[in-house]
A = this chain, B = another copy of it.
């Protein structure tokens, strides 16, 4: 469904890969080596934008990586003004889920697309509100026992078993999965990287 392009996804996330694959975009995956640390004084929006740009540019800077357009992305969960990253252990996952129970939080995903040929980088950040039902101790323990929360920002996956907790969202769904798909596709189209459904399937 796309031109025979040279798109590189600078992310190891299977969720982001699945989103792009699902709508027929062809790309290669080259995970970045950018550390996901917070800088002092950085807002959550600045944080995800910086990491998204750094990921795209870091992979684009490698001489041994072929491609023209490089996609970087970063997702965090925000409880009030606190960034919840990936839990370090089971106790931290339980504390995160407990703190999200019965209330609303935000998911922020940043993304950046770098065009190696023109040097242009376009980026944006999208915010989605997510509302959880009240979780019982059994549900939190049972969900953690599935193993799913351990490598996910905020200790849950909306596209996985974690869906049982999500009463509703407000905004982009794919943004909660890991990348705001409509917005990313619009930027890829603007940069000439894809044209959805141009080549009939």
Contact = CB atoms under 8 A, between A and B. Distances in A.
Contacts of A164: 23, 181-182, 185, 196
Contacts of A120: none
Interface residues of A, number: 39
Nearest to A23: B164
B168 A23 contact: no
A133 B142 CA distance: 38
Contacts of A128: 168
Interface stretch (A9-17, A46-54, A171-179): A171-179
Contacts of A197: 138-139, 141-143, 145
Given A133-B182, A172-B168, A161 B200 contact: no
Contacts of A170: 168-171
A22 B160 contact: yes
Interface string A185-201: 11000000001111011
A198 B145 CA distance: 11
